[in-house]
Structure 1
Amino acid sequence: MNLIKTTLLVTFFVTFLGAVEVNSSVSKKKIAYIVSDIRIPFWEIMSRGIKNSAAKLGYKVSIYSSNNIKKFEIQNTIKAIKNRVDAIVLSPINSSSAVTILKFAKSANIPVVICDIGADEGDYVSFISSDNQDGAYKIGQVLTKKMRELGWDKNGSVGIISIPQKRANGKARTAGFMRAMSQSGIKVDGLKQQVDFSYKETYDFSKELIEKNENLRAIWLQGSDRYKAALDAIKDAGKENKVLLIVFDAEPEFLELIPKGIIIGAAMQQPYVFGENAVLVLDNFFNKKNVKKHIQLSILPISTDNIEKNTPLIKRNVLGILE
């Protein structure tokens, strides 16, 4: 279904439903979390922050996972409108698909808070993001330090396995990391964009980067959930202790892998805090309080040097582990 037909369909659909009623009781308000793929740990942790904050403030939450398929994302938007939700928290597949969802939400008078992946344009209450460029720059500095310690900074190069560069956060991550590499004089040789985020895709990209560049000394994975694929490719190529792995985001296993030096470091976003903030913003909006248009959260550049002192923060804000 093309965009024009879809827009007409949803406009008719919303008109047929009538304006979405705003319940007088906060306890009855419903929030839809429309997310690109709840199977990815980052989004699942964010959903926990949303649900926890919503429970405290008396909201109901429904999760609509699009499984990284744009058709499902549109269907989920229509379903949320049909279910007469009072607000949407949106983590879109990419910045361009967000534009369509924002148009549909505006037609239904539903306020939207965007989390992490931005929108190319459109109306929304607030955009909560990480400082992706700064976080990538700082984790690039962690890698630079390690490569210098090993004497690999002069002749060694780095390969990148990125998230889609259509995403605003993907572009920012690449720009920040490239700035760190440029300042250090370390060459970046190869960038592969993830499409389906599968183990096989990440393994094949890692293998290709290694095989095509005999001077490759590190792979930077712009995500975290497929780290095993990259490590397996490094091992299978006989490059353990010869090719480093550094990542963006985090998995629970990193609390052990980073101190051991199996993963050199990780730029850790705080998805649980994302979720908490999204509901707090909507609560302020519903109660006619001031709301910031853009909220930017810091990213933790974690390495063997600082992981121990930051472990409590990582457990709660990054991994959503409440003790």
Structure 2
Amino acid sequence: MTSSIIKRVLRVSMCVTVFGLSALSAGAQTQDAGVKGKTFAYITPGLDLPFWRHIAKGVETGIGKAGGTVLTLDSRNDASAQLKNAQDAISKGVAGIVLSPTDSSTAPSVLALAKRAHVPVVIADIGTNGGDYASFISSDNEKGAYETGKKVAEVLKAKGWASGGYGMITVSLARKNGQLRSAGFRQAMKEAGVQELGLNQLQRYTSEESFKYTQDMITAHPGMRCLFVQVDVATLGSAKAIQAARKGDDLVLAGFDGVEDYIPMLNDGRLIAFGMQQPNLMGEKAAAALVDAVNGKTPAKSIVVPVIVITKDNLQENMAVVKQTVSF
């Protein structure tokens, strides 16, 4: 091989090597030096509900992009389990915590524990009655429920059912999100002149629990024309109860959150509308805020994610957003 050929080969080899190192460097820049290799915790009320699993996925995605890993801890809707989860996470040396509390009154004890250990906390949904935290990621619960109520009111008016009254099966009213959803839907119904007939608060957040509540409400108020259920799995239970009571043609159902089962229910009329939260997006925003906090930055104290009201008429045009942020 001549010397000129050897020089050309060496130049090409050097270019390939430099390009390869540049590509590796660019890939590394997608991770965060202050986060890479660190472990974080996501403490959730209950992985039995799809909503919390979606938030967990969003947190894992966001932290993973920054180079960290996530330990997901299930509190099983129990405040003492939640506190133990926080203690365990801190003892394992987590760099930060995303907390979705069992209710707003139980969050301050976790926040106090984390503060003493100098572990930053971002709250994802539900909210807190007090304590120090880096950021609060929430859905626009009141506006979302209000807009859902407006859609329902249109249907009731069109059917001539506005005088029939409505009921609600709510998130525990010890949770800020339950208070806001109830207030928003109630305001829409008040503006439409529809009377509130009854309210039951979920405690176990199961289909069976809402089935029983719906049965009881239909028995107590046989002329009721609308039921608003604030949790996805509970909405499925209420739909079954309405069908079992043969009230499908006399009573409209509205929901909140979002699960894949809602799609056929919208199409066949078992569900008239629902306020779709964006839990994957909420989880990713919580992760981003926590990464900022760990790096000594100050994330926004409140980050509000819009609720998209879905009906049969606008379902298809919103499916791209649904797939991206809810992961059906």
CA contact (8 A) 1:48 1:320 kept: no
CA–CA separation in structure 1 for the residues paired with 2:121 and 2:108? 12
Q: Give matches, 1:1-323, under 5 Å.
A: 25-153=34-162, 155-317=163-325, 319-321=326-328
CA contact (8 A) 2:209 2:234 kept: no
**1:79-129 Cα deviation digits (max 9, x unpaired):** 111111010000000001001100100011100000011110000000011
The RMSD of aligned alpha carbons is: 1.4
CA–CA separation in structure 2 for the residues paired with 1:281 and 1:212? 47
Which ranges in structure 1 are unaligned for 5 or more consecutive residues? 1-22
**1:45-100 Cα deviation digits (max 9, x unpaired):** 11111111121110110000011111211111111111110100000000010011
- Matched residue count: 297
**1:217-260 Cα deviation digits (max 9, x unpaired):** 11110111122211121112121111111101111122222132
Q: What amino acid does structure 1 have at the position aligned with 2:54?
A: I
Equivalent in the alignment of 1:6: none
CA–CA separation in structure 2 for the residues paired with 1:57 and 1:111? 16
CA–CA separation in structure 1 for the residues paired with 2:294 and 2:119? 11
CA–CA separation in structure 1 for the residues paired with 2:52 and 2:33? 30
CA–CA separation in structure 2 for the residues paired with 1:101 and 1:56? 26
The structure whose Rg is larger is 2
Per the TM alignment, residue 25 of structure 1 is displaced from its structure 2 partner at its CA by 5.0
CA contact (8 A) 2:226 2:253 kept: yes
CA contact (8 A) 1:259 1:307 kept: no
- Structure 2 residue matching 1:263: 3-state secondary structure: coil
Equivalent in the alignment of 2:16: none
Moved more, 236-245 or 33-42: 236-245
CA contact (8 A) 2:166 2:197 kept: yes
- Structure 2 residue matching 1:94: 3-state secondary structure: coil
Per the TM alignment, residue 215 of structure 1 is displaced from its structure 2 partner at its CA by 1.4
Per the TM alignment, residue 24 of structure 1 is displaced from its structure 2 partner at its CA by 7.3
CA–CA separation in structure 2 for the residues paired with 1:195 and 1:250? 19
Equivalent in the alignment of 1:17: none
Per the TM alignment, residue 33 of structure 1 is displaced from its structure 2 partner at its CA by 0.2
Q: What amino acid does structure 2 have at the position aligned with 1:53?
A: G
CA–CA separation in structure 2 for the residues paired with 1:222 and 1:26? 36
CA–CA separation in structure 2 for the residues paired with 1:240 and 1:135? 25
CA contact (8 A) 1:194 1:201 kept: yes
- Structure 2 residue matching 1:123: 3-state secondary structure: coil
- Structure 1 residue matching 2:36: 3-state secondary structure: helix
Amino-acid identity (%): 33
Per the TM alignment, residue 196 of structure 1 is displaced from its structure 2 partner at its CA by 1.1
Which ranges in structure 2 are unaligned for 5 or more consecutive residues? 1-31
CA–CA separation in structure 1 for the residues paired with 2:243 and 2:262? 18
